[in-house]
Amino acid sequence: MEPTQAIEEALDSFGRQYLAAFAAASTEQALRDERAQLLGKKGALTEALKLMGKVPAADRKRIGERVNAEKAAVDAAFDERLRALHAEARARELTARPYDLSLPGRAPARGHRHPISLVIDDLLGIFRDLGFVVVEGPLVELEENNFTKLAFPPDHPATDMQDTFWVDVAGAPPGARTLLRTHTSSVQVREMSRRTPPMAIVSPGAVFRRDDDATHSPMFHQVEGFLVDRGVSMADLRGVLAAFAERLFGPGTKTRLRPSYFPFVEPGAEVDLSCALCAGSGCRVCKGTGWLEVLGCGMIHPEVFTHCGIDPEETTGFAFGLGVERLAMMRYGVPDLRLMFENDPRFLAQF
């Protein structure tokens, strides 16, 4: 058969069936499949076009125009049906119920405790096991509980405007100065003033100082501990701290006391723990020393007992105060303390 004739017959038989097929397509995919039957690689119109090269020059223009017209007609019908399908889908969306009861429920994202709270929970658990009870004190304190009764001299640098947030509190006793507590040692004064020995107490909570750098935050957390009874000695303090260190960082963790000064203890010491990360061989976290300074401690000063109405001739006791952030940084390998308080979910999600 002549190529011209073959194409014309193909176009004649082509007819308008595709209009019915397009109309019957009820989804966009079905519609596209129907169009591919005509215009796709193996489509009927494409097959006819392949013969174009063989059509004699005299017929080529006429046949070409007819093929183009057919293509345009198919495209127009396709576009029209596609628009109609989109409009139908939109209309269905708009008239549908706004929710689908058959969809599975969406579980709310669950939060978790802050890394500082996790460490505080662990610390309190250890001291509870050792027989201490947990007591909390207020964040806004009287000067006498935070400094005076702890035997800070009036001109002590810690009481300076540079170090301490002094605040005015409505309802404070006349003449009393108030501040954001600078340490949890104020709880010693509160509890020793209202209880009679023996007592073994731990007290966690936020404290505030005018500090701000990678290892010092204006708000941080301490856990205070104190044990008051007859005959309490420095050996008891050492024993409690050693038991605490081994429970927190595992058996074999060593403790080291270095003489230090705090006005409310005598003698006083700083306590280092052997670095949990390098087991004492020296690393970045312990700055190569193998030791990490974690707390201050000592035997409660007789003057403090007297201020709290306890007879220092009969009673002795020890106290310690540790910085929670430092332990948390060591445990989780956090390089900058400030990350703990920026509340970036990408940081918090890692705990």
How much helix, strand and coil, in percent to the nearest 5, is found in the chain? 45, 20, 35
List 222's β-bridge partners, or say none.
205, 323
Each residue 58-77 as x (binds ligand FA5 by CB under 6 A) or -, in order, gives --------------------
According to CB under 6 A, which one of 119, 180, 187, 295 is a site residue for ligand FA5? 295
- Rounded CA separation 292/330 (Å): 9
According to CB under 6 A, which one of 222, 253, 255, 315 is a site residue for ligand FA5? 222
203 binds ligand FA5 (CB under 6 A): no
Listed in sequence order, the residues at least 6 apart from 34 whose beta carbon sits closer than 8 Å to its beta carbon are: 18, 21, 22, 25
When CB distances to ligand FA5 are compared, the closest residue is 323
- Rounded CA separation 153/146 (Å): 12
- Rounded CA separation 306/230 (Å): 15
232 binds ligand FA5 (CB under 6 A): no
Task: Between 27 and 193, name the residue whose CB sits nearer to ligand FA5.
Answer: 193
Pair 131, 200: CB distance under 8 Å: yes
217 binds ligand FA5 (CB under 6 A): yes
211 binds ligand FA5 (CB under 6 A): yes
Q: How far is the CB of 186 from ligand FA5 (least distance, A)?
A: 9
From residue 92, alpha-carbon distances to 3, 87, 101 in Å are: 48, 9, 17
Q: Return the H-helix or E-strand segment holding 22.
A: helix 17-24
Which amino acid would we find at residue 312?
P
According to CB under 6 A, which one of 137, 197, 317, 323 is a site residue for ligand FA5? 323
180 binds ligand FA5 (CB under 6 A): no
Q: How many CB atoms lie within 10 A of CB 280?
A: 17
Q: Which stretch binds ligand FA5 (CB under 6 A): 34-42, 69-77, 215-223, 281-289?
A: 215-223
192 binds ligand FA5 (CB under 6 A): no
262 binds ligand FA5 (CB under 6 A): yes
326 binds ligand FA5 (CB under 6 A): yes
204 binds ligand FA5 (CB under 6 A): no
Give residues in contact with ligand FA5 (CB under 6 A): 183, 185, 209, 211, 216-217, 220, 222, 262, 265, 268, 293, 295-298, 319-321, 323, 325-326
